[in-house]
Structure 1
Amino acid sequence: MLKKENIPQDYTTYSAGYQLSLTMDIQVYIAPHDPVRLLNQLLEGLDDKKLLSTYSDKGRNSVVPPVIMFKILVYAYMNRAFSSREIQRLCQRDIHFIWLLNGYPAPSHHTINRFRKHHLSDGVMEDLFDQWIERLHALDEIHFKNLFIDGTKIEANANRYSFVWLKSVTKNESKLHTKIEKLLQQINEMYLTTYQFNSNQPLDVLESCLMNLKQRVIEQSIEFVSGKGKRKTVLQRQVEALEDYIEKQNMYLTYQERIGEHRSSCSKTDVDATFMRMKDDHMKNGQLKPGYNVQIGVEAEYIVHVGIFSSANDVTTLIPFLTSMESRLSNTFERVIADAGYESEENYAYLKENHQKVFIKPLNYEASKTRKYKAQLGKRENMAYDELTDTYTCANGRVLKPIEVKSRESRTGYRKEVTIYECETCQDCPLRSKCTKAKEGNHKRIEVSKKMLSLRTESLENIQSEEGIILRKNRSIQVEGAFGVLKQDYGFRKFLTRGKVHVTVEMLLLCFGYNVQKLHNKIQNNRCGQQLHTQKVA
């Protein structure tokens, strides 16, 4: 009978026949110009007090020090490794990660995920990222002069069909209120009560009425029944209906609170995500998907600030983005360069109050240069304006005079004054059909915000100047180029975490790694200190 051979768990017992070797310093296998050396050196100088404060002084110490864990994560994001299991595998096999570990054992994917989720939130990641930006400023890479801003939409880690629409919630809640009023009227008639439904505080009267009915059930010793062949009493039906209405009302109130005022939908699996239209649509039919509006500010090709927003519109993100950045960084940028998606009177006014030079392309900038636009007689831009009399003259020579000044309030609470101009008469005008869509008997009207026109004109002059042309070209190169690298080269098209807090941490890690790689590339190509790409003259 053959003897059974047991294979030991320690495979080093099979190393017989190999020559005895001594452990060597593994950094000899890492190239002198490898970016991992730059990352290791520069991250050593960051203040990690806030990071260390997230650890308890009780219990056993972490296997890998927090500073090394942070280096591992940043280097992983530099190398397109976002999954905790992938990072664990690299720590076990990749010599660069093993060198960063400095003799510590490779962390498990649970440890990596816990560190990213619990120890980099609550402002820790923001603090480390801002220190890195200040470090770039100390290296004379960032001058806080030109801020290029742009945004993109990145898909959330949420079910694509778990949508909740505010419009549907409001519609169904209105139907529910009709049923509640009908039920309360029936209860008032049967029990001579005086319950009045208030849509502003719907739960108060429902809970009070339910308590009253349950007390009646106890007094009358009514036993609730269910199932086939059982007949429910009227009182049982009323109690069950009220309980169902209270549950639905609570659900609608929760959805409304999650969605808030400035968006129209949310996802059930990630309540901070909003359903947006993505460019890279998996079904190729323009389907809405849950995602985040990611805003970044770039100077000298470095990402200096990141903002995560739930609103799909860029125009409402500019002021919160700049306010957040100014509260965290030591300096304010002199110039702000953005595309037409950020144009609004509120944004113009905010930048002017902050004494920042504006380079925002008007919404109608490209269209205004076309023949079709210039041929539209009803456009205000195609009418002659007399500043002395404050009147416009249409293509037929008739005068539009100011008749009223109205105040309009935006979704963000900003109030602006709009002057309404009306034509003296549109009767028997041969150009009426080309100029206005007003009904017969009414005259053409236009609405003009004089403050907006003044601010837009100033911005238009800025972007058309020699300086403005260079800055506009650099906006396309620098900030849109940064998104191109993150989404195409790094392959980052979907978040792995959920919730705005954790999504922000993930995006900052990605941008941190991007900045380290950018500094490495500039050093190797002798481009340090270069702020702008200048025009090439043939």
Structure 2
Amino acid sequence: MQKTKLTCKNYTELNGFYQLKLPLEFEMLIPSDDSVRLHSHLLEGLDYTKLYQAYSSKGRKPAVEPKIMFKIITYAYMNNLYTSHKIERACKRDINFMWLLGGQKPPDHATIARFRQKYLSESMEDLFYQMVKQLNRLGEIPLENIFIDGTKIQANANRYTFVWKKTVSRNEAKMQEKVKQLIDEMNQHCFFGYTVSTETLVDDLERILADLLRQKDAQGITFVHGIGKRKTQLQKWIEKLTDYKTRQQNYQISHELFETRNSYSKTDPDATFMRMKEDHMRNGQLKPAYNVQIGVESEYITAVGVFQDRNDLTTLIPMLEKLEKNIGCRYTNVIADSGYESEENYGYLTDNKYIPFIKPQTYEKWKKKTFKKDISKRENMIYHAETDEYTCHNNKQLRPIGITHRTSVTGYRSDVTIYECENCEACPVKAKCTRAKGNRRLQVSKNFIEKRQVSYGNIITETGKHLRMNRSIQVEGAFGVLKNDYAFSRFLTRGKNQVKTEFFLLCFGYNINKFHAKIQTQRCGHHLHSLKTTA
């Protein structure tokens, strides 16, 4: 069949009747107030030394200049384009992307994915905090109040590939018992005298297998496989011990992955199974996810952390340490919700001269009448500091009888004082106070109570109310924009390092969009929302 012009691959042959239109320069097509101009200008002021160091000096020349490639990817994240295929398509069709390319050939999706995963992972954090310091120099981020919150974002992993710590420990114990039984059987059968220990099981099995293989060679035994062939006893022992050694090695790898968590995903071992807020089935199903933390000031994201912990308690200190290291200075006020309240966090903030504005976990309960009438609560007892005693509702004294210690998952050790009532017999209100058969006991961490009271005193001031109101607007609002407006509900990459790079890119794009919006609405230099007052 003869091809016509319409069926040819080269469609330019169809344009014979059309005249070339002007203008040919993209500069004339892009509005003067387009965010791509601001984006390009801001990124020109960054130092790309670490990014260029990721490229080998002996390697081939990059398809696209690394700085321009970074501009392309960050601008894509500004416009909700996350997959490499969509970014490739935009580079070929969108005049803003063509303008950023500056005449260079559009990169293909493989080049974009390789740049994001291989070259950008080591320098993305540095580039993000350079942007934060740049906004600080422009007067947009005063580095005074940091509003902290976290959320869980689903990992790129199958929800049914979970590995649980308790299951691994239980199966490991069963297997080790089978190993001991097999060794006993071998010793009784051939008087080998082998011994194994649970602490050095892999090394012991390797030693036994090496000895059995030497016996195999000495006896001239040939291993057989397949249906209808009889295995020797020595071959059966070697195969079983080899299988046990492999399983023990896998158990050890699992224990290394667990560290401070109780689960991981086979698809993405860095992801932890967590309970998500987006529970569409309403069955509380656990999904592989990452705990993402951000710090916000003046509506800009100034700190980012990606963690494997299911709660927020252990994320505050490492994120503040990383923030101080990257920006070279320290914030004054730290504002967070009750999920960050712990003695360890209070101690760190106090020792490092931060002013804490953390809402106590029982703050909302304190306001209720039922709490105020509950005689079993420590807050409703009278404390005598001079004698270190509590007086209960029945005017009995609770005196200290000892001190116990609690250790957190991070290794922090706190002292807890135990108080016991002098006599609860025949107390008319004992049923409302305690379920214990003996005297009422009370466990109190004095250090925690003291530091909590300081933070509570901070949040009830006018400044504290103003900052708490801004926390709910700024940091929770930022998450709302990222999840809903940016439609980012699941990571595309796997592994903690790759996930961190991806989230830094998202926050980078968010900050430039926010700066552009503030410029256009003439809100630059506006740091806090005003506290509404009732007439």
- Give 1:320 shift: 0.7
Deviates more, 1:396-405 or 1:53-62: 53-62
CA–CA distance in structure 2, aligned partners of residues 418 and 129 of structure 1: 42
CA–CA distance in structure 2, aligned partners of residues 250 and 50 of structure 1: 37
Question: Does the residue aligned with 2:363 lie in a helix, a strand or coil?
Answer: coil
- Give 1:346 shift: 0.3
Q: Which residue of 1 aligns with 2:221?
A: 222
Q: How does 1:257-406 map to 2 (within 5 A)?
A: 257-260=256-259, 262-406=260-404
Q: How does 1:98-137 map to 2 (within 5 A)?
A: 98-122=98-122, 124-137=123-136
> For residues 55-90 of structure 1, what are the alpha-carbon distances to aligned partners after superposition, in whole Å with 9 as ceiling and x for unaligned?
223344223211111111111111111011011111
For residues 227 and 428 of structure 1, do their structure 2 counterparts lie closer, same or farther at Cα, with a shift above 3 Å needed? farther
CA–CA distance in structure 2, aligned partners of residues 25 and 265 of structure 1: 55
Residue 192 of structure 1 pairs with residue 191 of structure 2? yes
What amino acid maps onto 1:486 in structure 2? L
Q: Which residue of 2 aligns with 1:176?
A: 175
Residue 494 of structure 1 pairs with residue 490 of structure 2? yes
> For residues 112-163 of structure 1, what are the alpha-carbon distances to aligned partners after superposition, in whole Å with 9 as ceiling and x for unaligned?
11111111112x0011111101100100011110010000000000111111
TM-score, length basis structure 1: 0.96
For residues 209 and 3 of structure 1, do their structure 2 counterparts lie closer, same or farther at Cα, with a shift above 3 Å needed? closer
- Give 1:44 shift: 0.8
TM-score, length basis structure 2: 0.96
Residue 465 of structure 1 pairs with residue 464 of structure 2? no
What amino acid maps onto 2:334 in structure 1? V
CA–CA distance in structure 2, aligned partners of residues 368 and 144 of structure 1: 33
CA–CA distance in structure 1, aligned partners of residues 226 and 63 of structure 2: 58
Q: How does 1:44-63 map to 2 (within 5 A)?
A: 44-63=44-63
Q: Which runs of 5+ in 1 are unaligned?
A: none
CA–CA distance in structure 2, aligned partners of residues 432 and 102 of structure 1: 80
CA–CA distance in structure 2, aligned partners of residues 382 and 194 of structure 1: 67
- Give 1:282 shift: 4.5
Q: Which residue of 2 aligns with 1:213?
A: 212
Q: How does 1:82-161 map to 2 (within 5 A)?
A: 82-122=82-122, 124-161=123-160
Question: Does the residue aligned with 2:143 lie in a helix, a strand or coil?
Answer: coil
Question: Does the residue aligned with 2:209 lie in a helix, a strand or coil?
Answer: helix
Residue 166 of structure 1 pairs with residue 162 of structure 2? no
- Give 1:21 shift: 4.5
- Give 1:168 shift: 0.5
For residues 234 and 57 of structure 1, do their structure 2 counterparts lie closer, same or farther at Cα, with a shift above 3 Å needed? closer
Identity of aligned residues (%): 52
Residue 535 of structure 1 pairs with residue 506 of structure 2? no
> For residues 395-432 of structure 1, what are the alpha-carbon distances to aligned partners after superposition, in whole Å with 9 as ceiling and x for unaligned?
12211100001222211111111110011122222222
Q: Which residue of 2 aligns with 1:74?
A: 74
Residue 522 of structure 1 pairs with residue 518 of structure 2? yes
- Give 1:255 shift: 0.9
What amino acid maps onto 2:293 in structure 1? Q
CA–CA distance in structure 1, aligned partners of residues 12 and 91 of structure 2: 20
For residues 485 and 212 of structure 1, do their structure 2 counterparts lie closer, same or farther at Cα, with a shift above 3 Å needed? same
CA–CA distance in structure 1, aligned partners of residues 365 and 199 of structure 2: 46
> For residues 191-235 of structure 1, what are the alpha-carbon distances to aligned partners after superposition, in whole Å with 9 as ceiling and x for unaligned?
323333221221121111122222222233333334444443332
- Give 1:366 shift: 0.5
CA–CA distance in structure 2, aligned partners of residues 377 and 361 of structure 1: 23
For residues 20 and 154 of structure 1, do their structure 2 counterparts lie closer, same or farther at Cα, with a shift above 3 Å needed? closer
CA–CA distance in structure 2, aligned partners of residues 432 and 220 of structure 1: 79
Q: Which residue of 1 aligns with 2:15?
A: 15
> For residues 169-197 of structure 1, what are the alpha-carbon distances to aligned partners after superposition, in whole Å with 9 as ceiling and x for unaligned?
01111111111111112222223233332
For residues 58 and 218 of structure 1, do their structure 2 counterparts lie closer, same or farther at Cα, with a shift above 3 Å needed? closer
Q: How does 1:24-43 map to 2 (within 5 A)?
A: 24-43=24-43
CA–CA distance in structure 1, aligned partners of residues 464 and 243 of structure 2: 62
- Give 1:93 shift: 1.0
What amino acid maps onto 2:118 in structure 1? H
CA–CA distance in structure 1, aligned partners of residues 220 and 230 of structure 2: 16
Deviates more, 1:388-397 or 1:234-243: 234-243
> For residues 475-509 of structure 1, what are the alpha-carbon distances to aligned partners after superposition, in whole Å with 9 as ceiling and x for unaligned?
00000000000001000000000111111110011
CA–CA distance in structure 2, aligned partners of residues 59 and 412 of structure 1: 43
- Give 1:22 shift: 5.5
- Give 1:433 shift: 2.0
CA–CA distance in structure 2, aligned partners of residues 395 and 344 of structure 1: 28
Deviates more, 1:469-478 or 1:99-108: 99-108
CA–CA distance in structure 2, aligned partners of residues 239 and 291 of structure 1: 41
For residues 434 and 196 of structure 1, do their structure 2 counterparts lie closer, same or farther at Cα, with a shift above 3 Å needed? farther
Question: Does the residue aligned with 2:334 lie in a helix, a strand or coil?
Answer: strand
Question: Does the residue aligned with 1:366 lie in a helix, a strand or coil?
Answer: helix
Deviates more, 1:187-196 or 1:145-154: 187-196
Query: In the comparison of the two structures, how many residue pairs are matched?
Result: 533
Question: Does the residue aligned with 1:150 lie in a helix, a strand or coil?
Answer: strand
Q: Which residue of 1 aligns with 2:409?
A: 411
CA–CA distance in structure 2, aligned partners of residues 216 and 460 of structure 1: 73
CA–CA distance in structure 2, aligned partners of residues 282 and 114 of structure 1: 34
Q: CA RMSD in A?
A: 1.6
CA–CA distance in structure 2, aligned partners of residues 333 and 185 of structure 1: 64
Deviates more, 1:206-215 or 1:339-348: 206-215
Q: Which residue of 1 aligns with 2:443?
A: 447
CA–CA distance in structure 2, aligned partners of residues 153 and 500 of structure 1: 14
CA–CA distance in structure 2, aligned partners of residues 4 and 537 of structure 1: 77
